[in-house]
Structure 1
Amino acid sequence: MFGIKIFTDWDISENDTTPEEIYLNRRKFLGNVGKLGGNILALSTLSNLLNPKEVFSANSSSNESISQNENNLTDLRDKITSEVLTSSYNNFYEFGTNKSDISFLAKKLPVENWKIKVEGLVHEPRILDVDKIIQAMPLEQRVYRLRCVETWSAIIPWSGFPLRELIKMSSPLSTARYIKFKTFVDPNIAPGQKNRFWEPWPYVEGLSMSEAMHNLAFVAVGMYGHQLNPQNGAPIRLVVPWKYGFKSIKSIDVIEFVKDRPNTFWQTVSPLEYDFWANVEPDVPYAKWDQRFEVLLGKTKKEKTMLYNGYAAQVAKLYS
């Protein structure tokens, strides 16, 4: 049934999550996402994401709340990483390198009426309207670990749909072996793109087709029960939880299906430090950091990094 949370073997247990005091305010979410679609269909589709079988605000006193036996996400809502942290501590190099500045600078990003170009090895190049994508997709909520290569981490509730659904919509040719993603280029609103040190823009990332078709690969259009904030990648971004966070490209502008493995942004900037795959592997030093340990945002205690960020049982076979 649409919108119901179905538990899988990769769901995060309650003991592995961290506190969050404001989670999934249903009425606020429905008010905000009305801006995305601009019509009854869009609002109806998105409202199903947070129906009475889902989770609601910790402050909710309505009859819509559900019992713990029906869905134990009612407890999980109070234990995720605080949105205050995940919305104010951000990497988005298009807007600069100071994490605390990104939430302010990214407000200039015009996220309404966003379009995505689909090109390369496809049956027909096209331009997709993000609002219409949202209307068409089977939206769901997933709580994923996010692991930054800088050795900090977070646990975030995302709203969106499996990447493979967007691939099906794009209708790639059988010769496509990789997917190349690009974000926007506009130095007038993104001051970081004026910095020649980080060239070449745009930011580029990629996945193999087998990775992209995996059930864990996710396209997010919301988080914490509302549409994405600009600093978090609005209006549409990737979430690939078994890889370092920089693989989860924000504000997707172009999707290109290609035969050969694409060079990514960080590979181009620093080829000796970054590779294409960027899987979370604690025993493999990556870039400038020892990856054996990590610290959850809002915490001080170091935790051992898990292979593939805790999703080894699901994705290890991709690399065997």
Structure 2
Amino acid sequence: MKQNKNKKKWVVAATTLAAMAALAGTFAWFTSQDSAKNHFEGSIAGSDVEVVETFTPPTDWKPGQKVNKDVAILNSGDYDSMIRVSFNEVLTKLTDASSKTSNDVTNLDGKTKDQVYLFPLSKTEGTWQDAKVVDTKMTVATGDYAGTYTLKAKEQVVTTNTGSTYRYVSYWDNGTEQYYAKAGSYSRAEDGSITPSTPEFKYVDLAATPVNMDWTKPMYNPTLTIDADGNATVLAGSDTGKQITLDFVNLSATPTAGKWYYNENDGYFYYVGIVASQTQTPQLLDSVTLGNGADNSYSKVQFDLVVNSTSIQAAKEAVNSDQWVKDTNADLKTALEGLYK
């Protein structure tokens, strides 16, 4: 009898809140949300739900490298909640990853090192001597590469039974930095001086095109092949190169209590359980990996993964509200309502 009396009090309170909030018969559930943006860095905001993660941003992400990123959600409010998570990705890759050679300094003039990558002089193996190069200069007026560069070269003598031949590695030198120089051929005079033909510099245009993808708009339907341990590896939705993967844990192919379930009809991962105040969900995301097949377009790659978490006050009536499942998945609705017995 006491239980029914409390339930009646709850219904009255709910009706009052609904009238105050909407005046149209819809219920205003207590909700909260938080997001954590990772470059490829976490941020925590909000008062009732927080993204809890273990993550160290990589500064030199290499093909084949798996970066640990543990994500769970904390109910930091003072009422029990249901929790769901969605993702937003921003992938920035080079528009043109091909390396080019040129002797036209306008490709460097006024440019920053974030706009143009100039190939440095590579370390030379073996015995090389400084060569005498006919005076050749290149001047860049402004930008990060501003300065006057002098063409220099290193020479290696190769002696065989038929005589001696010479190998050269040339480079542009501004007194502090050395950049690779490509020459079609070298002409060597009797005094040992050399004249390279049409020396060029080698560079990559770092212009990049960001691709923004919210898993919920438009809908992204990843292929979740969940193993017996509840793990799944999913291709990042904004990665047309199919090299960045997200590694999930604690999943279930069907709505199962205590597990995360992906609702492909609205783009959210729902935790099938009631999360008590000051407790957190099981881990959802485990790591992010850049595949071994990443090509040159992934040079200087930037991948922002934003984890958006949302909570709603735990109540059976809230499950199928506009703010939660709302008829998008009958099995999920049944499983969540089944938590309230």
Could you say which structure has the higher helix fraction?
Answer: 1
Task: Give the alignment's TM-score, normalised by structure 2.
Answer: 0.16
Could you say which structure has the higher strand fraction?
Answer: 2
Higher relative contact order (CA 8 A, sep 6+): 2
Larger radius of gyration: 2
Task: Give the alignment's TM-score, normalised by structure 1.
Answer: 0.17
